[in-house]
Amino acid sequence: MGEVAGCGLLAHVPTVMLPKAIRYELNNGQEFSVVTGLNRLKAEVLSKLDYDLVVVLDSHWFTTVEFVITSHARRHGKYTSDELPRGMSQVPYDAPGDPEFAKAVTALAGKHGTWITPIDDPCLPIQYATVNLMTYLQKANEAWVSVSCAQTGETDDFLRVGRALGEAIAGIDRKVLLLASGAMSHKFWPLSKLRAHEAAGVEHIFSPAHARADLDRLDWMKAGDHARVLKAMPEFLQYKPEANFGHYVMMAAAMGEADFCAPGRLYSEYENSIGTGQVHIWFDRPGDGWQARRKAAQ
């Protein structure tokens, strides 16, 4: 039987891929904590965990008529971002995949009322929400799989996919990390104004209301009150969370939804990126919700 070794809501913001000198220039001579936080997370947490599969819930991978999970035996190449090629250019990546796990998730889609397709096309593009985290967090020979966020998906759709993921993990012999890769509120400053808002300070978040909405949810996550985060999704959607916050919702659903009660530990400050809310928050082994899901799969 499988298990989840840990999970996290992690920022993949392009800033982490910029040269150090440019990062310091943008942030008033200081490092962004989302950079040091990824290094700390790997050294203090991931290096001590036993896992063989990383599942990235990729908020930059927008599919339309279904969710997609990568089913390659291996993905490798170089990545240049079409969005920001100046900052993410020819970044190498190389990681095994897990076709068996991808098929196990797909087989449960109908049971949970959703549509998930495994794709192993070697020409399938990879997104920087996966590449950036892989660059910082990859250890050795663990498999990396990405799951898309359907741009037509609503909260219930993300919950259904998360349930399928949770049941698939419980029913297969894997030790898994779940990485919800994406931002919180995701409203950018207009181009004519954004260069005045590139530093990390909370005062540069698009509005005080956006920052408050993010910080409230961080408080709930730190307390392990994921049920409250999920219940308040209609309100949070007013603040345009990245990918409708599908990356987090899928992770929480895989962990048992309202029964997911793991408290969060911050591995960065809550920081701005040209108006958007960025943070790393990590959740250790889940509680009763995961055990219930495991028993249901047996």
For residue 9 the two structure tokens come to 């809501």
pLDDT level of residue 1 (50, 70, 90 thresholds): confident
d(CA 73, CA 93): 14
For residue 140 the two structure tokens come to 């050795």
d(CA 85, CA 245): 25
pLDDT tens-digit profile of 205-219? 999 999 999 999 999
Does this model's pTM top 0.75? My answer is: yes
pLDDT tens-digit profile of 54-104? 999 999 999 999 999 999 999 999 999 999 999 999 999 999 999 999 999
pLDDT higher than threshold 90 for residue 161: yes
Q: Would you state the pLDDT for residue 297?
A: 47
User: Domain residues of the chain, as ranges?
Assistant: 3-297
Phi, psi of 240 (to 5 degrees): 55, 55
d(CA 132, CA 88): 9
pLDDT tens-digit profile of 113-146? 999 999 999 999 999 999 999 999 999 999 999 9
CATH class of 3-297: alpha beta
Mean pLDDT, to the nearest integer, of 23-33? 98
Q: What are the residue ranges of helices labelled H in the chain? A: 20-26, 33-44, 99-107, 128-137, 155-170, 191-194, 208-222, 226-231, 233-236, 246-254, 288-297
First CA to last CA distance, the chain: 8
d(CA 196, CA 189): 9
Phi, psi of 79 (to 5 degrees): -115, 125
Contact 267, 9 (CB under 8 A): no
d(CA 61, CA 150): 8
For residue 49 the two structure tokens come to 């965990």
pLDDT level of residue 227 (50, 70, 90 thresholds): very high
Q: Which of 151, 181, 184, 148 is nearest to 273 (CA)?
A: 184
Contact 162, 253 (CB under 8 A): yes
